[in-house]
Amino acid sequence: MTAPLKHSDPVNVEVALGNRAYDIVIGRGVLASLGERVAALRPGVRTAIVTDRTVAKHWLEPAEASLAASGIPTSRIVVEEGEISKTYAGLEKVSEALIAARIERNDLVIALGGGVVGDLAGFAAAILRRGVDFVQVPTSLLAQVDSSVGGKTGINSPQGKNLLGSFHQPVLVIADTAVLDTLSPRQFRAGYAEVAKYGVLGDEAFFTWLETNHSDIVKGGSAREHAIATSCRAKAGVVSRDERETGERALLNLGHTFGHALEAATGFSDRLFHGEGVAIGMTLAAQFSARLGMIGEAEASRVERHLIEAGLPTRLQDIAGFAQEGLADADALMALMAQDKKVTRGKLTFILLEAVGRAVIAKDVEPTLVRDFLQSKLAQ
């Protein structure tokens, strides 16, 4: 645990990947340094900013002004907000716009937005001219602590979440905590699920700190920077040791096997934000761990209690339109989980808990146990 940061103290967290290492710059107001940092990183570069309509209203002009002040030419590509853009059609739109903007291999794509924009712009950069570097400027809490770090990029298939993509690391991440002030309460809470995840899966002391300080994180005090920096350090450490998820990095998927299935069941719509799916999925993972005798009921309840206190959904019944076909059906949810990226030769892999703060990879989980567990939760 590090001492909480002051607002005036931006912090750099390094993702140590040898000659592909990069910094995550965290602090209030650091968006203004985007142009200066890009110019130092790539003298003479041209850029293209990919963003969505909502983020563009708040942060596109400040980002462009910072680049212009450093003499960096840029173009803008604006997509629709939400998972609707993280599709084949969205990828085509962004890719064709980048080509039209004459972005070359030595130029930079800048992803200015939340997780959808980061995943989409990063994937477009990865396949443009067989690989163009990009910069992440995450504007949601979820993106700042999770999706902007580690190089996972991609789009959704109608059959499942993130089934098309590539590992393509950014060359810089600028996480301005002030931009989070413009998020809706629901968007901020959804991102908080990923913050809590780091405590649940590997740092019980951090989880205990979150139980006491989560309201200050919402208010935007120094606790916010501390939570983001601690989360980024945790993820950077895992990514540096297991970049392509051949082992330890799978632990970061705590709650995601259940959560991704729920997102697919709701049509990747605003009925269920990604972080909300993770919150429900993390609760289910804790409860399933208790069902298997891996942890006690009290520990599972502790996880759920904190997420509820943070204003997050924790039950399947909390999802809007819960009774719709495909969501209140254990077999349909099992079919969606069978498309999860962690499935190997049809065998389900789950991230489960041995304690709060200690997650493990559980391979070849018996499907009938999962189905019976889901059926019991659906009946509540």
Distances in Å between the alpha carbon of 347 and those of 158, 332, 362?
A: 21, 17, 11
Hey, what's the torsion of the CAs at 247, 249, 252, 255, to 10 degrees? -30
Q: Tokens standing for 225?
A: 């920077």
Q: According to the annotation, is 218 in a ligand binding site?
A: no
Q: According to the annotation, is 104 in a ligand binding site?
A: no
For the question of residue 358 being annotated catalytic, the response is: no
Q: Which of 235, 302, 342, 377 is catalytic?
A: 235
Q: Which of 28, 93, 224, 253 is catalytic?
A: 253
Which of 63, 31, 68 is CA-nearest to residue 46? Answer: 68
For the question of residue 249 being annotated catalytic, the response is: yes
Q: According to the annotation, is 13 in a ligand binding site?
A: no
Q: According to the annotation, is 242 in a ligand binding site?
A: no
Q: According to the annotation, is 346 in a ligand binding site?
A: no
Q: Which of 194, 225, 263, 299 is catalytic?
A: 194
Q: According to the annotation, is 119 in a ligand binding site?
A: yes
For the question of residue 377 being annotated catalytic, the response is: no
Q: Which of 28, 189, 197, 260 is catalytic?
A: 260
Q: Which of 152, 197, 233, 306 is catalytic?
A: 152
For the question of residue 214 being annotated catalytic, the response is: no
Q: According to the annotation, is 197 in a ligand binding site?
A: no
* Plot region of 36 (φ>0 → left; ψ -120 to 50 → alpha; else → beta): alpha
Q: According to the annotation, is 139 in a ligand binding site?
A: yes
Q: According to the annotation, is 140 in a ligand binding site?
A: yes
Rounded CA-CA distance 374/181 in Å is 37
For the question of residue 194 being annotated catalytic, the response is: yes
> In this structure, are residues 330 and 346 in contact, taking their beta carbons and an 8 Å threshold?
no
For the question of residue 152 being annotated catalytic, the response is: yes
Q: According to the annotation, is 116 in a ligand binding site?
A: yes
Q: Which of 168, 233, 274, 302 is catalytic?
A: 274
> In this structure, are residues 217 and 297 in contact, taking their beta carbons and an 8 Å threshold?
no
Q: Which of 28, 64, 162, 245 is catalytic?
A: 245
Rounded CA-CA distance 155/107 in Å is 23
User: What are the backbone angles phi and psi of residue 76, rounded to the nearest 5°?
Assistant: -120, 140
Q: According to the annotation, is 83 in a ligand binding site?
A: yes
The total number of residues written for the chain in this structure: 380
Q: Which of 256, 306, 342, 377 is catalytic?
A: 256
From the annotation, which residues make up the binding site for NAD(+)? 81-86, 115-119, 139-140, 152, 161
Q: Write out the catalytic residue numbers.
A: 130, 152, 194, 235, 245, 249, 253, 256, 260, 274
Binding positions for Zn(2+) are: 194, 256, 274
